[in-house]
Structure 1
Amino acid sequence: MTPYVTPRRRGAAARLRPPRGGAVAALAVLSALLLVAHPWLPGGPASGNPRSLVQTFLPWTGLAVPVLAAAALLRRSRGALAAVLLPALAWGWAYGPALGDGSRGGPADLIVVTHNVDDANPDPAGTARAVAASGAQLIALQELTPPALGAYERELAASHPYHLVRGTVGLWSAFPLRDADATPIVPWRLLLRATADTPKGPVTVYVAHLPSVRLGTAGFATENRDEAARNLAARLREGPGGRTLLVGDFNGTTADSVLAPVMRDFTAAQEEAGAGFGLSWPARFPVARIDQILLRGGLTPVSAWTLPATASDHLPVAASLRY
């Protein structure tokens, strides 16, 4: 026998049920909050550093929009579908311009390439030829090793007769280099600085390779990278002004708050004049742009792009610049 439920009890039960699409709407709001409030997420080793982790992969939050929209349609929830507009608008505001082509017309005065060549690279000679074929006058390399260094020097000698190597970082140039200097940003990583005498005047070039980060059971381990970033910012403040390039593998994206002191005076070529996100790592399926070409002091990016994969686990990144 079916028990009789009074209309009052039936209404109370309906109020206890969660609204249709409530979980979808909650996830949509959370996605939107990540896009706009990520600078206020916890940082540092005590918390596992979710802030840097989210900021490293922040553009990928856009994938939540079609997934949540499909879920809202399946639930036939207008409220959930309306909530999905929040992350859609937030992502479009933050990253919509990157979907277009930001390159500027006109000639360039200088082409720059930076490439983490991978200390386990099985074909350093081929990698050297690939970056030389880009036409860049300045080529910065990271993760150089003594066994492979000779191959890079031989392959780049004709097109880039001037070069400096300090530790695991190096700079090859078609123009004379002077005022070479190398200072540690952590005990085992050096910041290389030199002045390139280009036909249109000197350019100060910094080549950096910040320590790697690791994702493990304790969270996102970035302590060494963060210390190097703080020291790098201090070295840059002490350096000369004028036309300046800062290139290399930062093991972090420009959205990462820890790089804010470094980015304060610099412009990212990819963000100003690139097409798309210019993701550079890992080479087989890039998910983050951790290799950067930054500039200040009268240098304007004309275009920025990634080069085809070499035998490294990073893609080379390039930019053309105008004085």
Structure 2
Amino acid sequence: MAQQAYVTETDNGGSGPERREPGLRRLTNRLMKSRLVAGWRGDPRIWRRGIVVAALAVILALVMLLHAQIPNAVGNLGSLTETFLPWLGLFVPVLLLLALVRRSATALIAVLLPAVVWLNLFGGLVTDKTGAGGDLTVATHNVNADNADPSGTARDVAASGADVVALEELTAAAVPTYEKALASTYKYHSVQGTVGLWSKYPLTGVKPVDIKLGWTRAMRAAVATPSGQVAVYVAHLPSVRVKMEAGFTARQRDKSANALGEAIADEPLGKVVLLGDLNGTMNDRALNAVTAQMRSTQGASGNGFGFSWPASFPMARIDQILVKGIEPVSSWALPETGSDHLPVAARVEVDTSS
């Protein structure tokens, strides 16, 4: 009889022993009584159920772990996977939910595999590695050939406070507009083909860089910063396409990336910055000729993934700031302009002697 009175008091929100339990213990007790968990206790099938979910979890882990082994022979599938590799992590909570619905201990354990692999690959990007200091701020922006407001875009980029700005996808008709809008902030500039470089510091040794396209979409200049000479490369590698009949077509991009990598490897100055739209992420093996010899400012000093394209809903970081012989301090994406890309900026330490 006393037991029944206790149940009634508890159900009515009384002040019995259960009400006085610590919050975490009370939550645990309620969870153990829930329908979702109640079916697990004493059920030997929890190890036999969810085999399909477990298999999918293992496959997902292997894809992320061995992405470099996925062949590019058919539709450049490897590069396509690497371009959107971080997004594979979205499948982890889906598989976790399925494992819980199936009440499968086997699936739950298997889901740990892709979770650990994803954290190993990208966990460092979700933490803020922004540092203080730095003696040079650089920015790069694919301004979009169809940009309806080049003046506004130029002002937005200049407002970033960058000492050196690279612009890609410049049209002959729009170049005078950019030159006029940036003239008051940047005393020195050069436009080579469809790419340009604006600087607060003198430029020397300006020249186009041949990336095997037949027209100019890359350039090099030495910038006389207060901390010393820096070779700055600006590049806009060819676009990639995803076609039903051909897959991820990127042969021309890959050829240009190799040529750009050779030019940077032959650079006589020890301090190098690469700014531009590389149409590929740092995970894409096709950019190895460049990424193997340079560091990403986003990976080393950013806050988050720093996705830059498309501007309306960024899904990939294809606009890059890479350095060699220079220490990245901070990196960030700038607000949306009239382009389909977001501008990106970085603060770096040129004088690394101290």
TM-score, structure 1 as length reference: 0.92
**Residue 100 of structure 2 corresponds to which residue in structure 1?**
73
Do structure 1's residue 250 and structure 2's residue 306 form an aligned pair?
no
Q: Among 312, 319, 338, which residue is 1:311 paired with? A: 338
The farther-off stretch of 251-260 and 233-242 is 233-242
Do structure 1's residue 184 and structure 2's residue 213 form an aligned pair?
no
* Higher Rg: 2
How many equivalent residue pairs?
302
What's the % identity of the aligned pairs?
51
8 Å CA contact retained: 2:48, 2:106: no
**Residue 262 of structure 1 corresponds to which residue in structure 2?**
290
Cα shift at 1:39 = 0.4
Do structure 1's residue 287 and structure 2's residue 287 form an aligned pair?
no
**Residue 268 of structure 2 corresponds to which residue in structure 1?**
240
8 Å CA contact retained: 2:309, 2:318: yes
8 Å CA contact retained: 2:261, 2:289: yes
Q: Among 110, 115, 130, which residue is 1:103 paired with? A: 130
* Structure 2, unaligned runs of 5 or more: 1-46
Do structure 1's residue 63 and structure 2's residue 99 form an aligned pair?
no
**Residue 116 of structure 2 corresponds to which residue in structure 1?**
89
Matches of residues 58-207 of structure 1 in structure 2 within 5 Å? Answer: 58-105=85-132, 107-185=133-211, 186-207=213-234
Cα shift at 1:19 = 4.4
CA-based RMSD of the aligned residues comes to 1.1
8 Å CA contact retained: 2:308, 2:342: yes
Cα shift at 1:151 = 1.1
AA aligned opposite 1:34: V
Do structure 1's residue 54 and structure 2's residue 81 form an aligned pair?
yes
Matches of residues 33-48 of structure 1 in structure 2 within 5 Å? Answer: 33-44=62-73, 47-48=74-75
Do structure 1's residue 23 and structure 2's residue 52 form an aligned pair?
yes
| Structure 1 CA distance for aligned equivalents of residues 292 and 251 of structure 2 | 21
* Structure 1, unaligned runs of 5 or more: 1-17
Q: Among 204, 213, 227, which residue is 2:255 paired with? A: 227
Give the SS at the match of 1:33.
helix
Cα shift at 1:104 = 1.5
8 Å CA contact retained: 1:248, 1:292: yes
| Structure 1 CA distance for aligned equivalents of residues 329 and 344 of structure 2 | 14
TM-score, structure 2 as length reference: 0.84
| Structure 1 CA distance for aligned equivalents of residues 113 and 216 of structure 2 | 42
**Residue 236 of structure 2 corresponds to which residue in structure 1?**
209
1:130-165 Cα deviation digits (max 9, x unpaired): 000000010000000011111110010011010000
Cα shift at 1:183 = 2.4
| Structure 1 CA distance for aligned equivalents of residues 237 and 214 of structure 2 | 11
Give the SS at the match of 2:275.
strand
Cα shift at 1:189 = 4.1
8 Å CA contact retained: 2:134, 2:347: yes
1:49-77 Cα deviation digits (max 9, x unpaired): 11000000000011011000001101111
By relative contact order (CA 8 Å, sep 6+), the higher-ranking structure is 1
